[in-house]
Amino acid sequence: MDSVTPEQRDKSLVHAKLLSGALWEASAVLIDQLFEDISELRTLVHITRQDIASSLVLSGLPPRHAEKYDVRFAQRFLVIATDMTGALVRGWTHPSCVAQELAVRCLLEQVEVIQDLYGLDLAEGWRGRLEERMLEDTDSEMLYQNAMDGFEGDVELNMQLGLAPMGLKDWFEPFNDTFVH
């Protein structure tokens, strides 16, 4: 069994503190940017894919549903994201719905922006390790894959594969008896 040197332990602690701070900052930025997205959507008469593609946070969601990301959707996503970021403080629990899984992905994207912006020396492979701990599975990744277009509408197939319902209308529905805001 390899023993950890004091230098390795110190470096690991620095990486953990940097990542913790980056997550904290990313959560504040994520919420602020969602408010900005909502404000921008309210000025639009008709929301297009291009409007969503140029948004701050909603652009990080599966693009095939972009024309359906209206003000009401963005407000609901803000509540889900706020609850998710609050879990970083009160004690992490796995996401309670597909929308919250997507909010975790948006949060991790924002951490990457902060890492680049401030030149943070985060541990190698930090994102993969966080995804393993923060998400029970990676089923929601299929929503981003063009080859999987339409799978979310096949409820029978989703059940056979053991997936939660992935249709846009189901994103805010709880996976089980958990409470979803």
How high does pLDDT run on average in the chain?
A: 88
> pTM score, two decimals?
0.87
Q: Residue type at 164? A: A
Q: For residue 42, what pLDDT is reported?
A: 96
Give the start-to-end residue ranges of the domains of the chain. Answer: 7-138
Is the per-residue pLDDT at 181 higher than 60?
A: no
Confidence of residue 175 (pLDDT cuts 50, 70, 90): confident
Q: For residue 156, what pLDDT is reported?
A: 66
Contact (CB, 8 A) for 53 and 93:
no
Tell me the two tokens of residue 174.
């709880």
DSSP states along the chain: -PPPPHHHHHHHHHHHHHHHHHHHHHHHHHHHHHHHHHHHHHT-SS--HHHHHTSSSGGGS-GGGGGG--HHHHHHHHHHHHHHHHHHHH-----SSHHHHHHHHHHHHHHHHHHHHHT--PPTTHHHHHHHHH-S--GGGGGG-GGGTTGGG-HHHHHHHTPPP-SGGGTTS-SSS----
Planar angle of CA 111, 113, 68, nearest 5 degrees: 85
The model's pLDDT over 105-121, given as tens digits with 9 standing for 90+, comes to 999 999 999 999 999 99
Q: For residue 178, what pLDDT is reported?
A: 59
Q: For residue 146, what pLDDT is reported?
A: 67
The model's pLDDT over 65-86, given as tens digits with 9 standing for 90+, comes to 899 999 999 999 999 999 999 9
Q: For residue 85, what pLDDT is reported?
A: 93
The model's pLDDT over 138-160, given as tens digits with 9 standing for 90+, comes to 778 878 876 555 556 555 655 66
